Structure 1
Amino acid sequence: MLGLRFQAVASQLRVLAFRASDLNAEHLLSVAEQYLPKRVTWAKNKRHDFSDALVLWDVLNIDAVIELENQDGKLVRVGISLLESEQKGRDRIYDLKSRRWYGIREALKIEQYWVLAVKWKDFPKNRGEWIDILYREIDTAVDHSGCRLIIL
């Protein structure tokens, strides 16, 4: 539910990149089949519609992809996961640093990946708060992995 809530905000801010031309359903499926074959099999057994890119994002376990311009004027593609628990966020960051997730991020041209730890009740409610959060984070230096846990 947090992912859908964030997608709505990102869409309003016009930074949501789920529908970028290079992130089409065919490409997403090929990435999922290459790096997450067990999740693809699970989704096939559940009769999920692989022509729907949103289903494939779910298979890839990515809540959103956004594109933000940093202070240098460079457009940066960022993968987003939202979790209510800081510990689950730390576990997710650990997974994201694996070779498999590096391959997924590279195939999807995701330069940074942020895991947002935020409780439902603390979810920022207005667009201005989100603008401040997103643009503060895009201009913050990242380590070599490109992954970051952000606690809201």
Structure 2
Amino acid sequence: GAQIITTCTADKQYATILTDNMVGAGVHINAIGGDCPGKTELAPAILHRADIFVEYPEQTRIEGEIQQLDAEYPVTELWQVINGTAKGRTSERQITLFDSVGFAIEDFSALRYVRDHIKGTDYYIDLDLLADPDDPRDLFGMLDRAAPDM
């Protein structure tokens, strides 16, 4: 079976696309679908078996998979694992779940961290993603420019 499962649906309803019998020991689940109140992908039994990691508990309890659980159900914030104040995976048989609802400041921070650690390697290319047209009234004129040499 799979060691990592990622769910990423956009259906805005309570749905069960992953049932408890589909998740074996040692699996990690990334639940990253288009989140909103009333939208779920995982069977509640999976949540009860997993150690749950979230970006921002207040938002995740409204929009994430954990909206199916009691408001005080214990979760671990991702930043606590990153800075070493909480443990991540503690055994090979542990089921872990990252219930992501998209927390912009954390996404941006993670991108900066990765950028800072790969800058100067073969994995890094600096891309200019900001529009800088010769004539601000002619955005399509930028398409005529030659692509920079890489």
- Select the structure of larger CA radius of gyration: 2
Report the TM-score, using the length of structure 2 for normalisation.
0.26
Q: Which structure has the highest helix share of the two?
A: 1
